[in-house]
Amino acid sequence: MSDSSPTRVLIWNEYLHEIENDGVAALYPNGIHGALADAFGERGGFAVETATLREPDHGLSEARLADTDVLLWWGHKAHAEVSDEAARMVHEAVLSGMGLVVLHSGHMSKVFQRTLGTHGTLRWREADEKERLWNLRPDHPILEGIPEYVELAQEEMYGERFDVPEPDELLMLSWFQGGEVFRSVATWRRGLGRVVYVRPGHETYPTYHDPHIRRIVVQAGAWAAARVRQDARRCTNPASLEPVPNPGKEHIL
Ligand code: ZN
């Protein structure tokens, strides 16, 4: 968390498509989490760990999240297998200051739905169509070094309406060959934590090998990383700093 110590990144991946589908395995031989870990490693300044669904407790615990500055989340077909307890722990960690970067099909994950309070639903189509992501905020740290637009030759289409709360910051807007548009990179604050959604990353395309997308994901992690960690679950009832008429009176909270 300090300037001298590396940012502690935990990349969580469902890790089923890569095991069950040869085409996906060819694109991501070390898993999507492995490709993303490489992107953080190439940038430097990060201490990166990974966790996957089928590990005991999905590789998550309160202690591990307490030692995480930012959690990345990629899930798709097994959102229901993630325990409610894991989603609760992640939500509490975000409220206490941990960053959360939700990727692509994570829009329907328990952690995203619970943290934002909406369903995260959208329109979608798998038709090998072109995506053009427009850079709306070239001044924002997440988009440092990103050009006016980024093109992906083939991606899954996600279209509006995206069922999320109004973003605090809308950073990129996607256009798809089939005609839809989508709020593709956006941020929210929840408690003391920062939340980022980054849309591209369908498992059958080489999206996480694209240098611009890797840069956006890494910079989203750096931006969302915790500045403080503070438990805000209980109200406090402090003594006054200055003299007051009834110093011993109990406050009704
Ligand atoms: Zn997808």
Question: Ligand 1 mean position to 202 CA, how many Å?
Answer: 4
- pLDDT for res 110: 98
Question: Ligand 1 mean position to 201 CA, how many Å?
Answer: 7
Strands (E), 23-136: 46-52, 70-74, 99-103, 123-135
Any idea which architecture 7-120+186-224 has in CATH?
A: 3-Layer(aba) Sandwich (3.40)
- pLDDT for res 247: 81
- pLDDT for res 250: 61
Query: 253, 236, 234, 237: which is closest to 96 by C-alpha?
Result: 234
C-alpha span between 110 and 76 (Å, rounded): 11
The pTM (predicted TM-score) of the whole model is: 0.96
31-43 vs 211-224: helix crossing angle, rounded to 10: 80
Contact predicate 135/106, CB 8 Å: no
Question: Ligand 1 mean position to 35 CA, how many Å?
Answer: 16
Q: How many CB atoms lie within 10 A of CB 111?
A: 26
Question: Ligand 1 mean position to 155 CA, how many Å?
Answer: 8
Question: Ligand 1 mean position to 181 CA, how many Å?
Answer: 16
Query: Residues lining ligand 1 (ion), CB within 5 A?
Result: 105, 156, 202
- pLDDT for res 249: 66
- pLDDT for res 153: 98
Question: Ligand 1 mean position to 156 CA, how many Å?
Answer: 6
- pLDDT for res 101: 99
Below-70 pLDDT ranges, the chain = 1-3, 249-253
Question: Ligand 1 mean position to 175 CA, how many Å?
Answer: 16
Question: Ligand 1 mean position to 229 CA, how many Å?
Answer: 33
- pLDDT for res 4: 73
Q: How many CB atoms lie within 10 A of CB 206?
A: 14
- pLDDT for res 218: 99
